[in-house]
Structure 1
Amino acid sequence: MDVDGGPAERKVTCPGEVLTSAQDFMRGHGTYVDDENVVASVAGTMERVNKLVTVKAVRTRYNAQVGDLVVGRISEVQPKRWKVDANARQDAVLMLSSVNLPGGVQRRKLESDELQMRSFFEEGDLLVAEVQAFFGDGSMSLHTRSLSYGKLRNGQLVVVSPNLIRRLKSHFITLPCGVDLILGLNGYIWVSKHVRQSDREGEEGFDAEAVYSNQNDVIDDATRTAISRVANIIRILATRFIPLSDSILLQAYEWTIEQDHQVPDLLQEDFGDALVASVTNL
């Protein structure tokens, strides 16, 4: 494989494929040396940075860092904590002390708060949170002490490989079509109806009723169509191993609008290939 395409080249490779000469490049994760050649040991995306060649596996679990934004699903309610499926090697933990209480009051959590934990989050609920720390066994400790974090409503979840999520300045994205995106670094992406920042925070500050409500808002047909269109675009790009960012998604959405196709047409093979070609300038 030719790796002389630039300072940070990304290509799809398969196990056993010869990537380059071991005399000219250094082997990184996902590779090994055989007969003076650097060979891929996993199926994934090859990356070259200067003289270092690595392969990131297509199917892999999320390796978290402190400060990462993640989208997760509540898997279990335990005393003073929730277990959260965050696409990692083990469930993350959200402590009762790490969430906002109704009224936004910063106070010590009481026994009465523990008895009401299911009124905050219960099994199956989706939420967006931040990685706060790690426990001794390596599991993540999450927190939702921000008005931008908390329970998710009014949308749908799309799951992709964590390797396809680029680290951006902000992982909260609003598209001109009235759709909000939350790009979780763990590969869970939330596509939902746009919520204005003033509505999120409320005039009086923390809006506990909205944050912990299980009731979705009324969503008009145009917004539903836009949400489905964006979700299908993400699936198309993910199946073709295209790294996701705000600029790529906006460019892809505008292209699909120009083509004037219906949302189900996006999942057709030919249309998907044309979409990828348009955003990668192939």
Structure 2
Amino acid sequence: MSERKLAIPGDFLGEGRAGHGAYEEDSKVFSCCIGLAEEKNGMHFVIPLSGIYNPKRGDGVIGKIEDVAFSRWIVDVNSPYEAVLPLAEATEEFIDLTKNDMTKYFNFGDLIFVEISSVSQTKNVQLSMRNRKCRKLRGGRLIKVTPAKVPRIIGKAGSMVEMVKQMTNTQIVVGQNGIVWVKGDHEDIAMDVISMIERKSHVHGLTDHVRAYLEDKMKDAPKVERRKYQEDEEEEHFDEGGGEFQP
């Protein structure tokens, strides 16, 4: 994998195949947007800078295990920068790597709710699972939103997301990186309304608008027995404007 570099539309990236954010012309690959370019196994990609997540210490984010290396996991946190979860930050128990397989704890493709513990000047991102809110996310579905719209989705003191959870009987985990995890009885409706909040985040009186929209949607929703989720599956989110784990 090549080192990422800034690219603008029309920049020559190299020869090979074009991936996301790039196009081919006469066996040459060019950037089609402003972003960070990289090459992997002969394929050139450009990660758009518009709407990207810029990691910040203390943020709670949803990440996907991308690779398993010696004593650490590489995690995709919807950012141009590589994020690492060291073994020592993933569990408090001692793990003998000569006897234990790290995939026993987190495997390829696993989703986790994790804290950003540090961000270096060169944008090396380190993660931690030590906060009590951090956990593996099992099942459910994901929706991606613009990170800047996350405070609107959460609402003041969590009021907006709490309303969506209660009216759809779903668990919702909102990552500051713009990844939202939904699991429960009416996932489709919850995801639909989250997308609507993102689109209409500028609208005055949005909470009332969302409540009316949900009431209308739930009238036609299939009736299901309302389930009470276990304590260890409580939803996590952050108050508007904060985005940091509370001590």
Q: Do both proteins adopt the same fold according to a TM-score greater than 0.5, normalized to the shorter chain? A: yes
**Aligned equivalents of 1:232 and 1:242: distance in 2?**
14
Gaps of 5+ in 1: 1-56, 101-105, 194-222, 264-282
1:149 maps to a residue whose letter is C
* Displacement after TM superposition at 1:255 (Å): 2.7
**Aligned equivalents of 1:82 and 1:171: distance in 2?**
34
Q: 1:188 aligns with which of 160, 179, 193?
A: 179
Partner SS state of residue 111, structure 1: coil
Matched, 1:77 2:88: no
Q: Deviations over 1:71-108 (max 9, x none)?
A: 011111111111111111122111111012xxxxx454
Count of residue pairs the alignment pairs up: 169
Q: 1:258 aligns with which of 207, 216, 226?
A: 216
Partner SS state of residue 166, structure 1: helix
Structure 2 partner of 1:110: 96
Partner SS state of residue 233, structure 1: helix
Query: CA contact under 8 A between 1:173 and 1:180: conserved in structure 2?
Result: no
Gaps of 5+ in 2: 1-47, 223-247
Matched, 1:228 2:188: yes
Query: CA contact under 8 A between 1:172 and 1:180: conserved in structure 2?
Result: no
**Aligned equivalents of 1:81 and 1:108: distance in 2?**
14
Matched, 1:92 2:50: no
Query: CA contact under 8 A between 2:89 and 2:127: conserved in structure 1?
Result: yes
Q: Deviations over 1:176-210 (max 9, x none)?
A: 232121111100011123xxxxxxxxxxxxxxxxx
Q: Deviations over 1:53-78 (max 9, x none)?
A: xxxx9932211211101001111111
Q: 1:242 aligns with which of 198, 201, 226?
A: 201
Q: 1:129 aligns with which of 103, 114, 131?
A: 114
* Displacement after TM superposition at 1:147 (Å): 3.7
Q: Deviations over 1:189-242 (max 9, x none)?
A: 11123xxxxxxxxxxxxxxxxxxxxxxxxxxxxx1xx2211011112333x252
Structure 1 partner of 2:151: 166
Partner SS state of residue 258, structure 1: helix
- RMSD (Å), alpha carbons: 3.5
Query: CA contact under 8 A between 1:72 and 1:126: conserved in structure 2?
Result: yes
Structure 2 partner of 1:278: none
Partner SS state of residue 151, structure 2: coil
Partner SS state of residue 70, structure 1: strand
Query: CA contact under 8 A between 1:58 and 1:161: conserved in structure 2?
Result: no
Structure 2 partner of 1:120: 105
Identity in percent: 24
Query: CA contact under 8 A between 2:85 and 2:126: conserved in structure 1?
Result: yes
Q: Which has the higher contact order (CA 8 A, sep 6+)?
A: 2
Normalising by structure 1, report the TM-score: 0.51
Query: CA contact under 8 A between 2:197 and 2:210: conserved in structure 1?
Result: no
Query: CA contact under 8 A between 2:56 and 2:116: conserved in structure 1?
Result: yes
Q: Deviations over 1:116-169 (max 9, x none)?
A: 210111111111001101246312111111342121013111101111111865
Query: CA contact under 8 A between 1:67 and 1:131: conserved in structure 2?
Result: yes
